[in-house]
Amino acid sequence: MPLIIADECINCDVCEPECPNDAISAGDEIYVIDPSRCTECVGHFDQPQCQQVCPVDCSPLDPAHVESKEQPHQKYLQLTSAKVASGKG
């Protein structure tokens, strides 16, 4: 299940560069996570990196985007194959 960034976000800028899928970006008021790119770092790390670096613990699972256990890995495979195809991987 993708993560979200909650209202408690303090815009500290530490999560965005840690995301291996470029799923995090600056929103209107706080950072946001693109659920189509968030894999909870499956395929890259054992733990979601945004959760590891967040000083206010504001990136819970997104209940609006329920996924099976296999879906994050499938997204990882799609995202990494797209990087390779574009010459960025």
Domain boundaries, the chain: 16-86
CATH of domain 16-86: 3.30.70.20
Q: Can you give the pLDDT at residue 85?
A: 72
**C-alpha dist (Å) from residue 38 to 17, 43, 44:** 14, 11, 12
At 27-83, the pLDDT tens digits run 999 999 999 999 999 999 999 999 999 999 999 999 999 999 999 999 999 999 977
Q: Can you give the pLDDT at residue 62?
A: 95
**C-alpha dist (Å) from residue 28 to 16, 41, 59:** 15, 24, 17
**Spatial contact of 5 and 33, defined as CB atoms under 8 Å apart:** yes
Q: Can you give the pLDDT at residue 87?
A: 72
What pTM was computed for the model?
0.88
Q: Can you give the pLDDT at residue 89?
A: 61
**C-alpha dist (Å) from residue 57 to 35, 39, 77:** 18, 18, 28
Q: Can you give the pLDDT at residue 29?
A: 95
